[in-house]
Structure 1
Amino acid sequence: MSPEDVREVTFSLALKSRNAYDEAEVDAFLDRIEATLRGEDTVTARDVRDVAFTHPGLGRRGYTKDEVDEFLDQVAAALEAR
Structure 2
Amino acid sequence: MTTEDERMARFARTPAGQRGYDAAEVDAFCERIAAAFQGSTMLTAAQIREHEFAAAAFGHHGYDRDQVDDYLDRACVDLEYARRGDSPHPGPERLSPRDVQRLRFSAPPPGRDGYAAAEVDTFLDVVAATLAHAGPTGLSSQDARAIDFCPAEPGGPSYYADEVDAFLDVVVRTLTEQEQKHTAS
> Scaled by the length of structure 1, what TM-score is found?
0.93
**What amino acid is aligned across from residue 70 of structure 1 in structure 2?**
D
* One-letter amino acid of the counterpart of residue 23, structure 2: E
Q: Which residue of 2 aligns with 1:9?
A: 9
- Amino acid in the other structure paired with 1:71: Y
Q: Does 1:76 align with 2:76?
A: yes
Count of residues in correspondence between the two structures: 80
RMSD: 0.7
Identity of aligned residues (%): 39
The runs of at least 4 consecutive aligned structure 1 residues that moved more than 3 Å come to none
Q: Which amino acid aligns with 1:61?
A: H
Between structure 1 and structure 2, the one with the greater Rg is: 2
Q: Residues 35-74 of structure 1: matches in 2 within 5 Å? A: 35-74=35-74
Structure 1: gaps (5+ residues): none
Q: What is the distance in 1 between the residues matched to 2:27 and 2:55?
A: 14
| 5+ long unaligned stretches in structure 2 | 83-185
The letter of the residue matching 1:62 is G
* 2: CA distance, partners of 1:27 / 1:8: 10
Q: CA deviation at 1:12?
A: 0.2
With structure 2 as the length reference, what TM-score do the two structures score?
0.42
- What letter matches 1:55 in structure 2? A
Q: CA deviation at 1:58?
A: 0.9
